[in-house]
Amino acid sequence: MKRTIVLFLAIFVLSGCVEQKEEKEIRIGVLIPKTGEFSSAGVVMENSAKLAEKHAKELFGLKVKLIFADCGDKAETAKTAFAYLAQQNVVAIVGAYSSPQALAVADSARELKVVYLASVASADLESKVKEGNRFVFRNAYNTTYWGVLATEFLQITNAKSYYFAGYDPLRTFNMAMFSLIKNSTKAELKGEDWIKSPSISPEDYKRVVEKAIESKAEVVILGDPGPTSVSFVREFAMRGGKATIYSVGGTLALPQVLRTLNLSGVAFQAAVIEGQEKTHLTKRYFEDYKAIFGEDANNYAGVLTYDAILIIAQAASKGGNLIEQLEKGSFVGAAGIYTFNENHQANWGSEKLRGSIGIYRDGKIEILT
């Protein structure tokens, strides 16, 4: 009888422990642009987020629960979505796409006392931290590093001249990147112009293509990460443009897009390129994304959203104050090993976290860095 009672109590206690472990979940809010100007990026961000949720369980033993909200393409829409997520008992919120959205959401994070990890936008969030907003972090690289990579490409190719084709809806980050390039490269600037949003002028890119060709620059730096960049490259080739196109990434960094265009001399920057093995997660990210979603994985907005969720999950699993864990910790992602500096910016350019540059030539992507 005693043995039966002891056995029963042991089973009861063990089942209680299992149940308690299963109930412990890490709830993370995700801002996704499902509608508006950046909705194409929203698709890959959501897919990558779901993959991170799956990998958190499989590779880290962490039960993550994601709550999504549509942040659209306006700052006010993002603030509304952030406020909604903040009420869902989340430990932190990641995502949003544009710089104006990230800046607005950063203020909301401080007001609502919820950690926000910017996974895509490159606005000057560091100034928010300097002003005392400890709730804001960013695992994406900032505008400075965008410029560093572009300058590095000009050096690698020994380009003597370049033209800057900016994208007006993302002027904030384009201007900061452009300014760094101008102050860092010896290559001659042959000119600049800004492509209007397709919603304002659907074929404005053609005007900028003409100016870029007339400049006779060796490299055209294209600041549009969206679908219009594909139209730009097609038009450039059709008109006989000879310069190398250097894209800030996004759509023109996707292998399926490059294969469809099949134009040699299109270079791009990314957080990581398939074929690299920056950590044990890199290969798994690219392979599982393709297996689950039926297409090549996004190597900037997608992978950085994936990494953002895993960073929060790893930090939250340690217990204690989440901000302190993020400030002092080291976190594994598909793009590298993340640590944050005193301004809560991921240390891109460090030994274990570097951006990548690739170029499409003769039917394949060559990794330059």
Q: Which segments within the chain are labelled E, that is strand?
A: 26-32, 64-70, 92-95, 115-118, 136-138, 161-167, 188-195, 219-222, 244-247, 266-270, 331-332, 337-338, 356-361, 364-367
Q: pTM score, two decimals?
A: 0.90
pLDDT at 61 over 70: yes
Check: CB of residue 335 under 8 Å from CB of residue 272: yes
- Pinpoint the residues of the chain covered by CATH 3.40.50.2300: 25-141+278-338, 144-270
Amino acid identity for residue 355 in this structure? G
Q: How far is 181 from 25, CA to CA, in rounded Å?
A: 44
- Name which of 6-15, 131-140, 189-198 the model is least confident about: 6-15
What is the pLDDT, as a whole number, of residue 12? 47
CATH number for the domain running over 25-141+278-338 = 3.40.50.2300
Q: How far is 289 from 121, CA to CA, in rounded Å?
A: 22
For residue range 339-369, list pLDDT tens digits in order: 999 999 999 999 999 999 999 999 999 999 9
Segment 26-55 mean pLDDT: 96
Check: CB of residue 284 under 8 Å from CB of residue 59: yes
Beta bridge partners of 192: 164
Q: Report residue 11 as tokens.
A: 């089973």
For residue range 194-211, list pLDDT tens digits in order: 999 999 999 999 999 999
Q: Tell me the fold of 144-270.
A: Rossmann fold (3.40.50)
Q: In the chain, count of helices (H) and strands (E)?
A: 13, 14
